[in-house]
Chains A and B, each alone.
Chain A
């Protein structure tokens, strides 16, 4: 036990450093992913066929080609074209675009799940597009999309581990370095626990948002199973 504590104490500066890098990638990636998801999700409902087609192509391209391939593309190919990105930017961009594309499916699905009658009533009351979105459709879709976004956010946290491959000092990288001194079980075990705590905290925060949104609508919470099914459709 005291061995473990000693190891922890010795490694704590690096672990802290690694956790910060992971957190930065998580928040940066999640912020970008959210913007992309909302943008593409709304555009997917555009009345213009050309916009919808374009969105479909972008989404399927990012969904279909694997996060790792996309990261490698940004990391190895862009420099050949004269675009040099900092590792941070590469990581955030790849996470944001990939999970943003997944998220756009969740956003689109939630918007179309708002009952037809709600959309029709906004027409009957002559509301403008912005008005109906902001005040009627979005608040209802928001509650529906949070469980799906929650699952994606956890996947994004896990996806940040890829950064270690580009020698970024993230949690995975630090734990891999620790292996030699602390042993396999301790080093990776600690890393997994920290990842778990980050995921749990974020997941809890989104669930609080969801509970608030549902309370405002007077609705019940969807079951975990229903959420998992919807998420599977988005990430496939």
Chain B
């Protein structure tokens, strides 16, 4: 379970998230939508500890992530504790961010071996199994630069899955892809949604995909949740005029 409690995020004078409160149940798939600058990507980045929390708390399965309340005071947790909690979370980025100095297979096994301490052989077998799942087993020894954008993104998904996260964050994973490459990546993600019970937080502009995989859609505007609903309801009968206009603009 993920719980955001009174979360505030400011960059200088700009408030990106303004007293945010929401909960995501285990195994739930939640899509975050909203105009750019509405704070949805910031939520994922806060969860992945890529940004510092200005105020408030984030809990993962009841465990505080970066800050905790001790004797009534908000204090930062030790980096080592943060890292322990963070290991439950995986993330796939818009720009793939594969390590160019490693082969596809090495990209995937690097963290399981050196962060989780998995035996090499086991990590390798696991990586090949996951590569099979994303349809790239035969490219295991290829160099990231030899792959198309869509293939790179599928490797990045495999890399995140190899850490066996309980929570997977997908940050506009198809936005950097040529239109004809989007389908394969989404198909892989649909398959993961179908066959696992990983909790997913998704930021995307692919509304059909959001409709297919998510249980709930949150509409953000100016750092707040404007409305939330099941995907069918959100996409066909949004409550707010603002949501209607946003959906019209992107569909």
Q: Residues of A contacting B99 with CB < 8 Å? A: 118, 121, 135-136, 140
Q: Identify the stretch in B29-37, B140-148, B211-219 within 8 Å (CB) of chain A at 4 or more residues.
A: B140-148
In contact, B83 and A120 (Cβ under 8 angstroms): no
Range of interface residues on B (Cβ < 8 Å): 20 to 34
Chain B: minimal CB distance from A74 (Å): 39
Known contacts A131-B114, A218-B145; A136 and B50 CB within 8 A of each other: no
Cα–Cα, bound, A128→B50 (Å): 14
Chain B: minimal CB distance from A121 (Å): 4
Interface of chain B residues 183 through 225 with chain A (CB within 8 A): none
Number of A-B contacts (CB under 8 A): 67
In contact, B86 and A126 (Cβ under 8 angstroms): yes
Sampled A-B contacts (14; CB under 8 Å): A115-B95, A115-B97, A121-B99, A123-B48, A124-B50, A125-B163, A126-B86, A128-B115, A131-B114, A135-B99, A140-B99, A218-B100, A218-B146, A219-B100
Interface of chain B residues 73 through 100 with chain A (CB within 8 A): 83, 86-87, 89-91, 93, 95-97, 99-100
Asked whether B49 is an interface residue with its Cβ less than 8 Å from the other chain, the reply is: yes
Residue with the greatest number of chain B CB neighbours at <10 A, chosen from A115, A124, A126, A219? A124
Residue in chain B with minimal CB distance to A136: B99
Asked whether A216 is an interface residue with its Cβ less than 8 Å from the other chain, the reply is: yes
Asked whether A117 is an interface residue with its Cβ less than 8 Å from the other chain, the reply is: yes
Asked whether B110 is an interface residue with its Cβ less than 8 Å from the other chain, the reply is: yes
Report, nearest first, the 10 A-B pairs whose CB atoms are least far apart: A218-B145, A117-B97, A125-B111, A139-B101, A121-B97, A124-B91, A217-B100, A126-B87, A117-B95, A126-B115
Cα–Cα, bound, A70→B111 (Å): 46
Known contacts A120-B50, A218-B144; A127 and B97 CB within 8 A of each other: no
Interface of chain A residues 111 through 164 with chain B (CB within 8 A): 115, 117-118, 120-121, 123-128, 131, 135-136, 139-140
Cα–Cα, bound, A102→B96 (Å): 34
Contact of B110 among A128, A135, A218 (CB under 8 A): A135
Q: Residues of A contacting B93 with CB < 8 Å? A: 117, 120-121, 124
Interface majority SS (helix, strand, loop, mixed), chain A: helix
Q: Residues of B contacting A216 with CB < 8 Å? A: 101
Q: Residues of B contacting A121 with CB < 8 Å? A: 91, 93, 97, 99
Contact of A123 among B49, B95, B110 (CB under 8 A): B49
Q: Which residues of A contact B (CB under 8 A)?
A: 115, 117-118, 120-121, 123-128, 131, 135-136, 139-140, 216-219
Q: Residues of B contacting A219 with CB < 8 Å? A: 100, 145
In contact, A218 and B111 (Cβ under 8 angstroms): no
Residue in chain A with minimal CB distance to B88: A126
Residue with the greatest number of chain A CB neighbours at <10 A, chosen from B93, B100, B146? B100
In contact, B90 and A124 (Cβ under 8 angstroms): yes
Q: A120-B97, A124-B89, A218-B145 are in contact. List 11 more A-B contacts (CB 8 A).
A: A117-B96, A118-B97, A121-B93, A121-B99, A124-B48, A124-B90, A124-B93, A124-B160, A127-B115, A218-B100, A219-B145
Chain B: minimal CB distance from A209 (Å): 14
Known contacts A117-B93, A218-B145; A125 and B110 CB within 8 A of each other: yes
Interface of chain B residues 152 through 205 with chain A (CB within 8 A): 159-160, 163
Chain A: minimal CB distance from B177 (Å): 15
Residue in chain B with minimal CB distance to A219: B100
Q: Residues of A contacting B144 with CB < 8 Å? A: 218
Cα–Cα, bound, A53→B207 (Å): 49
Cα–Cα, bound, A124→B163 (Å): 10
Residue with the greatest number of chain B CB neighbours at <10 A, chosen from A117, A121, A123, A131? A121
In contact, B50 and A123 (Cβ under 8 angstroms): yes
